[in-house]
């Protein structure tokens, strides 16, 4: 009995010791994280991948492992086991996927896999060279297959702009520039209805008729066709308000001033690259990638990151190795499950007695 109590006490002490070492390690990691927040991401990446930090990560992983051997509840209670095993898997996966681990495998096991790089592919061309991720033109590796770019394009948000009028007191009234919308200037003032919107207004001459039409394309000469109803009820249609204005002038009619504020070149909504994976001269996979939707093939992930800003003829992809990803994401899953189990299901029961 006395022996059992004393063993209980050593166990209790051991648990306490493990907990305090844990607190110490977590506090050190927190302090290093605060420090690295001041460095900015690129320096912080170098810092956390440096040799002393590699030692820290390995010690942390060992601490988790030691915890399983010394504190029984970490293994016996499934919730706690999942929390801690999850963390351990994340650290191990991250170590396995690190730059140093890739280099070690290359040096000692002849692996050709690189951790990360960039690719620049012209439309209609194929490429397998990976350039350094720091933007220099150093080739850091080659893929065992080729990637072709069938097409690259940019998508924009629909931007409508506004039809507006400014009165003698400089007060503006505006309406979204859409056919059917009416700009109502109030009691005793004209009403202006938008009857048509042109992305690229052009006049076609047909005999002695002049026909307004939308030449399409990008927004070269955006314009609105409006119909004006004067306070006396008389209507007058076929007026055009130009966003660019001829010579910068607005539109004036019977003392009424109208303008078309076009939102300018609209904001980009997406970049897309239609890619083809080519093995031994044959296309084995096609996929259109965009931001948030990468291509996964042959142990790498390919991300849309840039493009030819002048002419849109090439795309820039960032490429990352998928080594270590599986343990990291399984670790995430375990961690979530364990934390929810431990924190919610065990503690959060209505009216549960106050814990000791």
Residue 22 binds ligand HEM, judged by CB under 6 A: yes
Identify the bridge partners of residue 123 per DSSP, sorted by sequence position: 149
Residue 67 binds ligand HEM, judged by CB under 6 A: yes
* Smallest distance, ligand HEM to C-beta of residue 19, A: 5
Q: Which residues of 59-69 are buried (b: 16+ CB within 10 A; e: fewer)?
A: ebbebbeebee
Which DSSP string do the residues of 281-348 spell out, in sequence order?
A: TEEEEEEEEETTB-EEETTEEEEEEEE-TTT--EEEEEEEE-TTHHHHHHHHHHHHHHHHIIIIITT-
From 36-44, 120-128, 175-183, 190-198, give the range in contact with other proteins by CB under 8 A. Answer: 36-44
DSSP 248: G
Kindly report the backbone phi and psi dihedral angles of residue 142, in degrees, each rounded to the nearest multiple of 5, phi listed first. Answer: -130, 145
74 binds, among other proteins, ligand HEM, none (CB under 5 to 8 A by kind): ligand HEM
Residue 30 binds other proteins, judged by CB under 8 A: yes
C-alpha 44/C-alpha 65 separation (Å) is: 27
50, 73, 103, 218: which one contacts ligand HEM (CB under 6 A)?
Answer: 73
Q: Give residue number: closest CB to ligand HEM.
A: 67
From 111-119, 296-304, 315-323, 337-345, give the range in contact with ligand HEM by CB under 6 A. Answer: 337-345
Six-digit token string for 224: 């609105």
Residues 68-97 that bind other proteins (CB under 8 A): 94
C-alpha 297/C-alpha 299 separation (Å) is: 6
C-alpha 99/C-alpha 169 separation (Å) is: 65
**Which of 148, 327 has the CB closer to ligand HEM?**
327
Would you tell me which residues interact with other proteins (CB under 8 A)?
A: 16, 19-20, 22-23, 26-27, 29-30, 33-34, 36-38, 40-41, 44-45, 47-48, 94, 116, 157, 267-271, 290-294, 301, 303, 305, 318-320, 325, 328-329, 332, 335-336, 339-340, 343-344, 347-351, 354-356
């Amino acid at each position: 009995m006395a022996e059992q109590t004393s063993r209980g006490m050593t166990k209790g002490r051991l648990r306490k010791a493990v907990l305090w070492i844990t607190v110490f390690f977590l506090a050190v990691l927190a302090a290093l994280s605060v420090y690295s927040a001041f460095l900015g991401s690129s320096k912080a990446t170098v810092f956390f991948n440096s040799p002393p930090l590699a030692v820290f990560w390995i010690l942390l992983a060992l601490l988790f492992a030691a915890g399983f051997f010394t504190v029984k509840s970490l293994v016996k209670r499934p919730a706690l086991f999942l929390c801690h095993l999850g963390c351990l898997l994340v650290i191990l996966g991250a170590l396995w996927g690190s730059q140093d681990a890739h280099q070690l495998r290359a040096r000692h096991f002849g692996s050709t896999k690189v951790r990360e790089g960039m690719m620049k592919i012209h439309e209609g061309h194929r490429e397998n060279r990976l350039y350094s991720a720091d933007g220099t033109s150093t080739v850091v590796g080659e893929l065992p297959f080729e990637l072709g770019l069938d097409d690259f394009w940019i998508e924009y948000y629909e931007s409508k702009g506004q039809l507006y009028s400014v009165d003698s007191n400089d007060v503006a009234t505006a309406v979204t520039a859409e056919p059917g919308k009416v700009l109502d200037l109030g009691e005793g003032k004209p009403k202006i209805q938008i009857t048509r919107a042109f992305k690229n207004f052009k006049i076609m001459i047909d005999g002695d008729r002049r026909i307004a039409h939308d030449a399409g394309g990008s927004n070269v000469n955006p314009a609105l066709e409006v119909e004006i109803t004067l306070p006396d009820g008389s209507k007058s249609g076929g007026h055009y308000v130009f966003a660019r204005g001829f010579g910068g002038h607005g539109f004036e009619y019977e003392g009424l001033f109208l303008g078309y504020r076009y939102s300018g070149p609209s904001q980009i909504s997406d970049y897309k690259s239609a890619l083809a994976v080519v093995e031994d001269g044959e296309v084995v996979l096609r996929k259109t990638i965009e931001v948030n939707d990468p291509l996964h093939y042959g142990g790498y992930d390919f991300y849309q990151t840039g493009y030819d800003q002048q002419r849109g003829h090439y795309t820039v992809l960032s490429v990352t190795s998928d080594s270590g990803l599986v343990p990291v994401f399984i670790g995430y899953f375990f961690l979530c499950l364990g934390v929810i189990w431990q924190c919610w299901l065990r503690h959060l029961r209505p009216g549960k007695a106050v814990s000791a």
